[in-house]
Amino acid sequence: MVSVTPPLPQPPADRTRPAVLIFANCQGEDIRNVMASVEPLREAYEFKLIAYHVLNQPWGGWENYGPGFMSNVETLWYQEGPDFPQERARLHEALPADIRTIRFPSPSMLSLWPLAGGDQRREPEELYPDGRYPRVDYVAAQLAADLAGQDLSDDSIFDRYMEMSAQRLPNLDRRLAIDIARWQQRDAIVDIPVGEYLHDSFREVPLFHTWTHLTAEPVRFLAKRLCETTFADTADLEQLASAIDALLAFHTGQDFEQTPVHPLVAQHFGLAWYRPDALYRFHSHEWTFRDYIVHLIRHAPYCRESDIGVAETALATQAGELGDEL
């Protein structure tokens, strides 16, 4: 099962409109989709995306961005980070010399998932190129090794996990302090700081589906701040904010592979939005926290071979439809 959608053919540069180029990881996909649909801006600007986290993939490389791609780019929304240095260097080589650059961070939060770690079972498979469960819980991985060969019920496995995980939880306030320090470090080098917003909001509303995949709320925050910084002199900011709110009213964010929050973590931080019986989307499945943990420990398959053909057909259809429009 592919976890990242290969890029569709890029429209040719519309030289009648200036372009805003978004250079970002998967978080930029939502930002680009929102901004390309904002009515006050869609006729005046073209919004383009280079997803730097897939540039090293066979289907996501620089060849998708032809010679004319940069020709109308006047503004760069640049997601700062230490990752992918070669891709970042190549971008800067290709940019126009006089481009206006607005920098924003890549929000993340590890303190809600303090048991994230490694699992030796995670390796690429035909149905799971990123491994069956890309976001690993190290207690679940250790328990799986300890219970190998034992025929235990799901209830027994879950009970053992809850006992072991309660013993292994680190100092959660210390983990939050590390997150805060990381936010402050990133905010110091960007134009759109997010640390204060994340700290003030994470208990009241869900901000993350995983430690890096965003719900609609941070997307809304970033989109509005980017507009305020970019279009303050050329657009009605209240109108833009209202349009963004309308577009995101029913948007759930990048929820294709949700990682449940441990109930003891939710209790410690007093998460107002947390529900013990909540269902979490994991591709085409909806699992409770218990379901997810049992699947994770058992390393259970959840994808059928027929799903690959369905996904490939859908992508080919999308690409064909866009190609017909160009």
pLDDT at 49: 96
User: Among the listed ranges 47-51, 240-244, 275-279, 306-310, which one has the minimum average pLDDT value?
Assistant: 306-310
Residues 151, 30: Cα–Cα separation, whole Å: 44
- What is the token pair recorded at 111? 């303190």
Average the pLDDT over 124-142 and give the result: 94
CA dihedral 296→297→298→303, nearest 10 degrees, is 10
| pLDDT band with cut points at 50, 70 and 90 for residue 308 | low
Return the domain boundaries, the chain.
19-104+216-251, 115-168+275-326
Residues 219, 80: Cα–Cα separation, whole Å: 16
Average the pLDDT over 296-318 and give the result: 69
CATH code of the region 19-104+216-251: 3.40.50
Contact indicator for 216, 253 with CB cutoff of 8 Å = yes
pLDDT over 70, % of the chain: 89
Nearest to 181 by CA among 275, 110, 112: 110
How is 72-129 classified by DSSP, letter by letter? TEEEEEEE--SS-HHHHHHHHHHS-TT-EEEEE------TTSTTB---TT----SS-T
202-213 confidence digits (pLDDT tens): 999 999 999 999
Contact indicator for 130, 3 with CB cutoff of 8 Å = yes
20-40 confidence digits (pLDDT tens): 999 999 999 999 999 999 988
Residues 104, 226: Cα–Cα separation, whole Å: 8
- What is the token pair recorded at 309? 């053909």
Residue for token digits 């491994």?
131
> Which residues does residue 285 pair with via DSSP β-bridges, in sequence order?
282
Tell me the pTM: 0.88
Nearest to 298 by CA among 149, 82, 117: 149
pLDDT above 50 for 314:
no
Residue type, 2: V
237-284 confidence digits (pLDDT tens): 999 999 999 999 999 999 999 999 999 999 999 999 999 999 999 999
